[in-house]
Amino acid sequence: MGFARTCSVALVGVEGVVVEVQADLEPGLAAFTLVGLPDKSLSESRDRVRAAIVNSGETWPQKKLTVGLSPASVPKSGSGFDLGVACAVLAANERIAPLTIADLVMIGELGLDGRVRPVRGVLPAVLAAADAGYRQVVVPERTAAEASLVPGVSVLGIRTLRQLIAILNDEAVPEETADRDEGRPDPLLAGLAVPGAGIGTGVSDRQVLPDLSDVAGQHTARRALEISAAGGHHLYLKGPPGAGKTMLAERLAGLLPRLTAQESLEVTAVHSVAGILPPGKPLVDTPPYCAPHHSATMPSIIGGGSGLPRPGAVSLAHRGVLFLDEAPEFSGRVLDAMRQPLESGHVVVARSAGVMRLPARFLLVLGCA
C-alpha cells in the first residue's frame, strides 16, 4: 500500500554511516514494528514517534506499519532517528509526498509534543551525509550552526515536527516558541574540563586560552613547557603542593598552535559526540585541555559506556593537553590503557555491539608531588 523512504545517520564512534529509513503500510491489524538492529533507546522511538505525530495534529495510520533501518548490520543507537522515522511514516501515509523526503538526511529526537530536540554527534553525522553525496539535511534548530560547519550541505534547522511538515508541503510555517531550557548547560557535563572551560574564556570570537604571561619566575618549568609545546613532547611535572603544577599544565594548551580547519573539525566532532559543545559557539578552534580526576572510571577516561558510547578524556583531549594530576594515584589499568593512544593517536574501544575507534592524539602531562 504505502511506502516511503528517507535517510538518517548511525554513529560508530565518531564515524557516521548513512542509514535508509523505510516505512511500509499494509492493511491489517494496527501494529508498529521497528526492524534493523535497534538498541533499547531506539526501540523507544516507536512510542515517541507515535505521540509526536498525533500531537502535531496528524492522524496515526490504523494499519500494519513496519519501519526498517538499513543496512541492518550496523548497530544503531540513540534517539536521532526519530525525525526520519516520523517523516517516513507520514509519507507512507500520504501526508507528505514521498519524493520530497527521499534525498533528505534527517537527524533529531522527537519529544512527545512534537518538538525536535538536539542529539549528540550532529557534526560527524552531517559530515558522513556529505561524504555519501547528500546535499540537504534537516536537524534540530539548536544544532543548525554545528551542522552548517560542513561545506556543501544546505541545512534546515527546525523546532517542531509541525514546522517540518508545513515546509515539506509548502504550507504556511507555524511560529514555534523556543525551548524553555534553551542555552542552559547540561548539569551532567558541568564538571568536565574542556577547551578553555572556566579559565580565561575570552570575549573575542575565538577562545583565548591562558598563557605563561601570568606565571611568576619558574624559568626552568616555563622553558620545559615551551619545548614540550614546540616539539610535541610529553611532560612530567614534579613539585610540592602549591608549586604551580596545575597552573603550568593548564597553560600548555595556550602555547600550542591554533588548530587548523581540519583539526578543528576533528576535535569538534569528538566534542559533539560527547555532547559538550556550547550551543552558540559550535566550532572548537583552540587546543582542548582535559584534566580527569584520578578516581575517574575506565570508560570516562578511555571511552565507552552504554547506549551511544561517549568519548573518554583521552579523546576529549585530542589535539590538546591531557593532564593527569597525582598520576600515581590513577589505577594501573587506566595507566596501561594509555599506551595505545600514546603510540597510535587513537583508542579502540570494544563493546558488545562492535569495535569503535576514537581519535586520541594528545600531549600528556603527568603531575606528581
Ligand X SMILES: Nc1ncnc2c1ncn2[C@@H]1O[C@H](COP(=O)(O)OP(=O)(O)OP(=O)(O)O)[C@@H](O)[C@H]1O
Q: Check residue 100 for interaction with ligand X (CB under 6 A).
A: no
Residues between 232 and 291 that touch ligand X (CB under 6 A):
239, 241-247
Q: How many Å apart are CA 1 and CA 184, to the nearest integer?
A: 45
Q: Which is nearer to ligand X, 51 or 327 (CB)?
A: 327
Residues linked to residue 117 through DSSP beta bridges, in sequence order? 109
Mode of pairing for the β-strands spanning 346-351 and 354-359: antiparallel
Site mask, Mg ion, residues 186-225, x = CB under 5 A?
----------------------------------------
Whether 80 and 9 have beta carbons less than 8 Å apart is answered as: yes
| Exposure of 285 in the CB half-sphere (CA atoms within 13 A) | 13
State in angstroms the smallest separation of the CB of 221 from ligand X: 8
Binding partner of 217, given ligand X, Mg ion, none, CB within 5-8 angstroms per partner class: ligand X
Q: Are 22 and 59 in contact (CB under 8 A)?
A: no
How would you class 260 by CB atoms within 10 Å of its CB: exposed for 0-12, middle for 13-18, buried for 19 or more?
A: exposed
Using the rule CB under 5 A, is 66 a contact of Mg ion?
A: no
Should residue 218 be labelled a site residue for ligand X when binding is judged by CB under 6 A? yes
Q: How far apart are the first and last CA of the chain?
A: 72
- Cβ(157)–Cβ(139) below 8 Å: yes
Report whether the peptide linkage leading into residue 257 is cis, meaning its omega lies within 30 degrees of zero. no
**Interface with ligand X, residue 198, by CB under 6 A:** no
CB 222, min distance to ligand X, A:
9
| CB nearer Mg ion, residue 81 or residue 323 | 323
Residues in CB range of 328: below 8 A, 6 or more apart: 368
Lay out the site mask for Mg ion across 238-257 (x = CB under 5 A, - = otherwise): -------xx-----------
Q: Does 369 bind ligand X (CB under 6 A)?
A: yes
Q: Is 219 in the site for ligand X (CB under 6 A)?
A: no
- Residue 112: all three cell numbers together: 512527545
Stretch that binds Mg ion, among 225-233, 283-291, 294-302, 325-333 (CB under 5 A): 325-333
- Let me know: does 209 contact 253? Beta carbons within 8 Å: yes
Q: Is 296 in the site for ligand X (CB under 6 A)?
A: no
Taking the complex as a whole, how short is the minimal distance between the CB of residue 192 and ligand X, in angstroms?
19
Closest to Mg ion by CB, 51 vs 199, is 199
CA dihedral 220, 292, 207, 125 (to 10 degrees): 140
Give the binding site for Mg ion (CB under 5 A).
Answer: 245-246, 325
Which residues contact ligand X by CB under 6 A?
Answer: 215-218, 239, 241-247, 325, 369
